Structure 1
Amino acid sequence: MELLGIVWNEVIIRPMVNVLMIFYYFFAMNMGWSIIIFTLLMKIVMIPLTLKQGRQMKAMAAVQPKILQLQERYKDDKAKVQQETLKMYRQSGVNPVGCLGPMILQMPIFIGLFWALRGLLAKTPEGLVKLSDLVYASIPYANFVVPVDSQFFWMDLGKIASQNTLPFLMPVLVGVSTWLMQKMSTTPVTTPQSASTNRMMLWMMPIMFGYFTLNFETGLALYWVMSNIAGIIIQGFITGWKPLYSVLQILRITKFTDSEEKIESHNNEFIDDEELQSDEKTTNRDRGEEYRRSRRDRSKRTGRGETRRRNKRNS
């Protein structure tokens, strides 16, 4: 176990610490930009694996109709379905596990970066001593960059997200970007059980990572957000943007529905105003007619009175 810890420290953590320190020195002493550049380089290095994942996803999508036919043909024999499905995968050169390659590879990087950032952003004397043990002696400018400035815009990358300014911003960004990444990289399924599992993972992973971000260093959250954004872009160029288009279409429909409701509400208000104005006009017209009628009646009565008075004088 101790040997495993030494290997982990020498193979994962120390290289990450020193690479980040080099980036920090050459990019304006800014750890935020160092993490972003490190993330983009890691995504570029993993492009061959991502390409392989994209080919596997396309191949799996191509054999889905045949697998559905197998399931219908052998619906009473599950063992036969599994046997024929594996046989078809082999014939088509499909490896279902290959679709998980980049995600599996990211986990050691994520865990290693967690410890690397904790070492790099140390502020206490004990932490700085540990950091000096992690830095390679061949890096001559290490003394000029320690201790590392952890400020990046309004965020302190060394603090956990819940203790930072705008504490829920990074967890929300992690959750949303993880959901979009899951949506872009979800593999095709052939059974209702698999579809149910995919739907559960689509929501469980973003919620889980978003919640964990509250208790992780903000620098780690920045890495995860940038990794997801870069992954979405790369995945879009490899396998297409159809999943993202479907999300945008849903948002557009929702927005359009809201707009329709607002327009309908406005039209109803306008109709109500017109009806009210019409009622007022009708009322005013009726009052005018009544006034003119009373004037005519008064005039008639006045005329009859004048006629009677003239008749009396003449008689």
Structure 2
Amino acid sequence: MDFILNPFVTILTLLYSIFNQDMVLAIIVFTALIRLLTYPLTAQQMKSSKAMQVVQPELKKLQEKYKNDREKLAAEQMRLYRENGVNPVGGCLPLLIQFPILIALYQAVIHALAASPLSLIDLSGRLLIPGLGDVIPLENRWMGMNLSLPPDMTTGSIIAYALPVLVVITTWLQFKVTTPPMPPSEDGKPNAAASTQQTMGTVMPLMYGFFALSFSVGLSIYFIASNVIGIAQYVLMGKADFRNILPFGLGRTQTAAPALTTPTPTRRDISKGGSSTPPKDSAKPSGGGKPRR
């Protein structure tokens, strides 16, 4: 892991020296750079997830049809994937590649916020640029808090209370925006996948918020920055799905097909195409139909 961690620690320390020893700004910019570098993997994961969602209804039909024949089910599933150009592991591979990168990013923030003498020595040994160790120890005070320690609630600082709340909110928003709603079950039965998705969307943000109470302030800032940048990525790519966060199920009804109704002619239509009632025969001459001389 050091072959990924050491370059990350070096880049984060370099950004710290560039931005006038502002550790918070260095963490935000560093997170944005890593997000940009992993964008192709994110795009591939989104593409695979979308393709799997398209074939999901047909996949459920096959599972119901061949529920007692596993070999036939596997063959039909592969045929369905092949005909629709779907790679069943296409969404997992980018995630597996990103996982060690995200772990290294997380560890880089921890190492850069070194507080003890031993951790400072370890930090200086990880820097790959000569002379960069002159900025050690890094300034870890921000808004009256120590970035290397958990938020201290006893100080009464608004920021200390706000950080865990922002972690919960941004994690929830990113999950909702980047996760499209599951289609309803055709037979009216409860959708197990949708229930699992809803549970994850509730438990995961609360879990991260709980972790933010014991993690360092610098890591909370990293989580918030990562979530906000992730949401911005999806919005800029036009892939953000806001149906999950609309109240009262409005997002789910947006995709419903409109009812077919007979259009009622408007004044504009009447002015273009004539009156809505058949015109009277005004060309018929009066007085017996004889023309005047």
The equivalences for 1:194-205 within 5 A come to: 194-205=193-204
Q: Does the Cα contact within 8 Å between 1:99 and 1:187 map onto a contact in 2?
A: no
Of residues 169, 179, 185, the one that matches 1:176 is 169
Residues 15-94 of structure 1 correspond to what in structure 2 (within 5 A)?
15-74=7-66, 80-94=72-86
Structure 2 unaligned blocks of 5 or more:
186-190, 252-293
State the AA in 2 paired with 1:148: L
Pairing 1:256-267 to 2, within 5 Å after superposition: none
Matched residue, 2:275: none
Identity %: 35
Query: Do 1:57 and 1:99's aligned partners in 2 also have CA atoms closer than 8 Å?
Result: yes
The 5-angstrom pairing of residues 138-153 of structure 1 reads 138-143=129-134, 145-153=135-143
Greater C-alpha radius of gyration: 1
Letter in 1 for 2:136: V
**Counterparts in 2 of 1:189 and 1:248: CA distance versus 1, 3 Å:** closer
Match of 1:244 in 2: 242
- Would the alpha carbon gap of residues 63 and 213 (structure 1) be closer, same or farther in structure 2, given more than 3 Å must change? same
Which amino acid in the other structure matches residue 244 of structure 1? F
Aligned to 1:5: none
1:248 & 1:58 partners in 2: Cα distance?
Answer: 21
Normalized against structure 1, the TM-score is what?
Answer: 0.66
Please give the alpha-carbon distance, in whole angstroms, between the structure 2 residues aligned to 1:141 and 1:67: 55
AA aligned to 2:217 is: T
| 1:90, distance to aligned residue in structure 2 (A) | 3.1
CA distance in 2, matches of 1:184, 1:100: 20
Question: TM-score with structure 2 length normalisation?
Answer: 0.70
Equivalent runs, 1:95-174 vs 2, <5 Å: 95-100=87-92, 103-136=95-128, 138-143=129-134, 145-162=135-152, 165=157, 166-174=159-167
Higher helix share: 1
CA-atom RMSD in angstroms: 3.0
Distance of 2:27 and 2:139 partners within structure 1: 13
Query: Which residue in 1 is equivalent to 2:284?
Result: none
Residues 1:73 and 1:251: Cα distance change in structure 2 (over 3 Å): closer
- Note closer, same or farther for the CA distance 1:86–1:123 as it changes in structure 2 (3 Å cut): same
Residues 87 and 251 of structure 1, relative CA distance in 2, 3 Å threshold:
closer
Deviations 1:15-53 (A, max 9, x none): 111101110011111010001001111111111112212
1:287 aligns with none
| Structure 1 position 249, deviation (Å) | 4.1
Structure 1 stretches of 5 or more lacking a match? 1-7, 254-315
Task: List 4+ stretches of structure 1 deviating above 6 A.
Answer: none
Deviations 1:157-195 (A, max 9, x none): 211235684434222222222222222333676773322
Matched length: 242
**Amino acid in the other structure paired with 1:209:** Y
Q: Determine the structure 2 residue equivalent to 1:186.
A: 179
* Contact kept in structure 2, 1:16 and 1:113, CA below 8 Å: yes
